[in-house]
Amino acid sequence: MTRRRTRPDTSGKPGYITPEGYRRFEEEADRLWNVDRPKMAKAVQVAAAEGDRSENAEYQYSKQRLAAIDRRLRFLGKRLEVLTIVDERPPEDGRVYFGSWVTLEDEDGETQTYRIVGPDEIDAEKKWISMESPVGKTLLSREVGDEITLRRPKGEVCCEIVEVRNSP
């Protein structure tokens, strides 16, 4: 069975992460270890006490969930070891750096604001894009006033960088 990934596989390579992203990873690992895992281990124990484990759906589900928690904990542990926290704020000189919020204006006058982050932090709802993505690569080192061409599913679109902020 092939599983599709919704995020790039970053498990084996070092990378950059914002302090907020690193903190979120630490908080997730802490919650999984101190809250979710003990709760699920208890659920496995309770379900196992109910008798025949081969036909016990609750036991099977609890074991699978516990294994998923353990996998995520291993992943987070490995990632936290190799990630480089970029906590130095770049100068407010109008250039796009890692961690910058970039506002683009398209030909129709519509604006979109993106944040350039590491691949571990991408979030479509927040419009946080990876520095390794085509858009991220195009934006890095550009500055306010630069015109860029972005490839989108609907075709190419020309945009102008109208604002760059390096703090929220």
Band the pLDDT of 1: cuts 50, 70, 90.
very low
pTM here is: 0.77
Does the 101-165 domain belong in CATH 3.10.50.30? yes
Amino acid sitting at position 10: T
Low-confidence winner among 23-27, 88-92, 135-139 (lowest mean pLDDT): 88-92
The domain segmentation of the chain, as residue ranges, is 15-85, 101-165
The CATH class given to the 15-85 domain equals mainly alpha
DSSP secondary structure code for residue 49 in this structure: T
**Closest C-alpha among 11, 86, 5, 73 to residue 40:** 73
For residue range 40-77, list pLDDT tens digits in order. 999 899 888 887 777 778 888 999 999 999 999 999 99
Give dist(CA 68, CA 92) in Å, integer. 42
* CA dihedral sign of residues 112, 115, 120, 125: negative
For residue range 127-145, list pLDDT tens digits in order. 999 999 999 999 999 999 9
